[in-house]
Each structure stands twice: as C-alpha cells, then as structure tokens.
Amino acid sequence: MINTRAMAINTLLAWQESREPLDLVLEQECARAALGDPRDRHFLMALVYGVVRWQGYLDGIIAAFSSHPLTKMKPLTLAALRVGLQQLLFMDRVPESAAINETVRALKEARQPKWLTGFVNALLRTAARRRKTLPPADAAAAVRSHPEWLVARWQALYGRERMQAICAANNREAGLCLRVNTKRISVPQYLEVLASHGIAATPGAYAPAALRLPDDFRGGIAELPGYGQGYFQVQDEAAQLACHLLAPFAPGACLDGCAGLGGKTVQLAWLLPEGTRLVAVEPNARRLALLRENLARLDEEGVELVASTLEEYAAGCRERFSAILIDAPCSGLGVIRRQPDIRWQRSLAILERNRERQGALLAVAASLLAPGGVLVYATCSIEPMENEEVVADFLREQPAFSLTDAREYLPRPAQDLVDEAGFFRTTPEQGLDGFFAARLMKQ
C-alpha cells in the first residue's frame, strides 16, 4: 500500500535538496511511485503545498514543543514533523490518529531509530492535545511563513499594513480561473456545460472570457468538460488582460518573445485578426514541447514556434514586427499563492540578476519592432525592481519609445487596475495574481 505521507516527506526532501520548482519535483515523485489514483494525488498535493505554504508557522510550533533545536534536526525528522502538523492543523478531514500514525509509519519504513520515531510521535500527540492553545493561523502566522528578507523588503516598499495583507493573501490557496475559447464556445454556453456537470462556475470580474471555478473544486483540469475539445485554457484574469494591451490588433506580424508554456501565445492567436503572422520564441525544450501540446489541443497549429533564445532569433531575423509581447522571466513573486515554494527560492541577488536580464530582453525586442509598433512588457511580479524600474531604464536608453496609458486598451471593469503612471498592475489582495504590464510605443 502506498504511504502518501512518506511520499510527501520524500518530495519535500527532494525539493529542498534540488531547489527545482516544487511542481516539477512533485510530478517526478508521483511518476517514480506510479501514483495513479487521483484521490491520492490530490491528497499528496494538498499536503506538500500546505507544508511549504505554512512552513514558518509550522516550524514555530515545532520549536515550542521541542527541546531539540530545529537547526540540529535531521532534514527527514523536520520534514516528517511538518507533514504531521500540516494534517493536524489544516486538514480537517484527516483523522488525528491517521495523521500521527501514518506519519510515524513513514519514518519506520525509512528505518529510523526507535527513539526518533518516538520523539516525532510524542511531539505530534502533544500538539494534537494542545491544539486549542496554539497560536492561530492568521495574518501574523502568514507573515512568519515568508522569509525575513522578503517581509522586510515589502514593509519598506508598501508599509506594514499592506505587507501583512500581501502575506495573508499569499497563504490563501488560489482558485482556478479559465479563459474560454470563444472561437469554439461562448462564455454563457460553457457556463451551462459546467453547470450540467455540477460545477457552479462564475464569470470573471475583469476579463471578458474569464470564468472562475468554485473554491471547493478539487478535480483535475483534464477532467473538466470540454478539455479535449479545446473549450478553455487555465489562465488567471490578470494574465488574460495583459494581452489586450497589444491592441489595436491589425494584420501583420506579432512576436511572443518569451512564450514559456504558451498561455499568452494561445490568447494572442485568439485575439489577432485573420492573416496575422504569430511567432513564438522559447529556448527551453520541455516548455516548448508543452507549448506544442497546448496549441494542438486548442487547435492553434498556425503559430510559428522557434526553439531559441530571443537574442539568437533576433540575430538572424530581418523582419520587423508591429506588435511584440515580452512576458519576461521574473521572480514570480506575484504568484506565490499558486506556487508557495517561490518565496523560499528567491533572494535580492536574484532580483538584481533578473533586472539585468529583463532589460536585455527589452533592448532586443526594441530592435525587432517596426516604427509605430507596440511593445508590451509584462511580469508576474509585484517587485518594482523587475517592473517600473526596468521600464524606466529602458525609456532612458531608448528615446524612440514612450509609455502609453494602459487604461485605454482594457475592458471597462479592468481600467481601475491601471495606476496613475499608466501601468497595469494587480496584486494578490485583489484575488488576482500579482501582475505588471507596461505598453510602450515606438515612434
């Protein structure tokens, strides 16, 4: 019988050692163990992501009940304690006995000494017994579950109150948002399809093709009706809105210079008029393969895919584009609620390196843009160093470019998401992914 607690512990250890993205490590662990039951997979995901999300809070409880310092504990012991506490404190459907006994069994299967399994068993039972006296998992606990450098930076940038609000929003699990493929089915029609399957989705608040799934939806994406028919793609409303900034859409050539998995590539294919040539550049082989799969599922095979860096592509390109999207590689600090591991894998040094790389990408894009063309720079970050500071550097170095007000190109409900400078900006406190976009025009 598969012990999902053991799998959770192994996943956390592998993630800490490799520093790879958590979703990739989790997928590798599921494949290694041949975990096929969707219920086991959902439980494992909830457990692992929950531990990473509340790690600082969980560690505080462990420290309160242990005379042994956390820094002296074996990584395996600490991971097991976090897994056990996550079940006890956040997973109401897990019986207390199962949370403790199965976690301890995972250590026994790992051939840990009896004194250590006894220590873990005793600490978890003490925490369960004194559960009502534990500090609440509130905004203060969410702050403790972010690295100190990031908390200090956000407090300096935004003030204490907003810093706490951001941390609290990051520790609320984000719901799923879809973008309906209106080439195949209308938004009202797909709402009816979902309702006929017992899924009470609601229209998005800002993007015209957005649908939000209910918070209690726990099914797989591929299990949603219409997945195989290409009725939708998963995409937060903030990301959906960024592509609108390339308007007015006209026939010609459009470049997605940092395509990634292709969420915005596909959306551009839906938004651009007939006859527009769309080129998507992506150097990573794994992401490019997934992009190709997404395009095939959504029947958007007319996109020209280029397996290279933007610099390599530009070196041999003689064409000039009327519209370019640079959805730049960034820290991802705006999507922590979806990817909680991001907070533990970033540093100020990484932000500084990102800024340099982002500036270089914009410079290359500028050389590929035709006069009168539109260049949209976007990130899924709330960090000024990766956002407005990058744009300010670019405008100083590129006098032919000017910033235009994003408000004019967004649907009416989304215009309030544009700040006084004209930047499109969303934050997790709004129930959206933290996103930034600037619309730049070339004379």
SS3 403: strand
C-alpha span between 327 and 402 (Å, rounded): 18
Write the CA distances from 177 to 190, 201, 203, integer angstroms.
13, 9, 9
Contact 346, 277 (CB under 8 A): no
Distance CA 175, CA 5 (A): 24
Residue 3 corresponds to which tokens in the numbers above?
């012990």
First to last CA, the chain: 66
Q: Catalytic: 380?
A: yes
Among the listed residues 89, 90, 62, 91, the one whose alpha carbon sits nearest the alpha carbon of residue 78? 62
Q: Please state, as a whole number, how many other Cβ atoms lie within 10 Å of the Cβ of residue 269.
A: 22
Q: What is the DSSP letter of 185?
A: S
Q: Which residue has the tokens 């797909």?
A: 190
Place of tokens 């997928």: 27
- Which of 243, 254, 258, 380 is labelled catalytic? 380
What are the start-end ranges of the H helices in 74-159? 75-90, 96-109, 114-129, 139-144, 148-158
Q: How far apart are CA 42 and CA 26, in angstroms?
A: 11
At 171 the three-state DSSP class reads coil
Nearest residue to 84 (alpha-carbon basis) of 93, 96, 73, 74: 96
Active site residues: 380
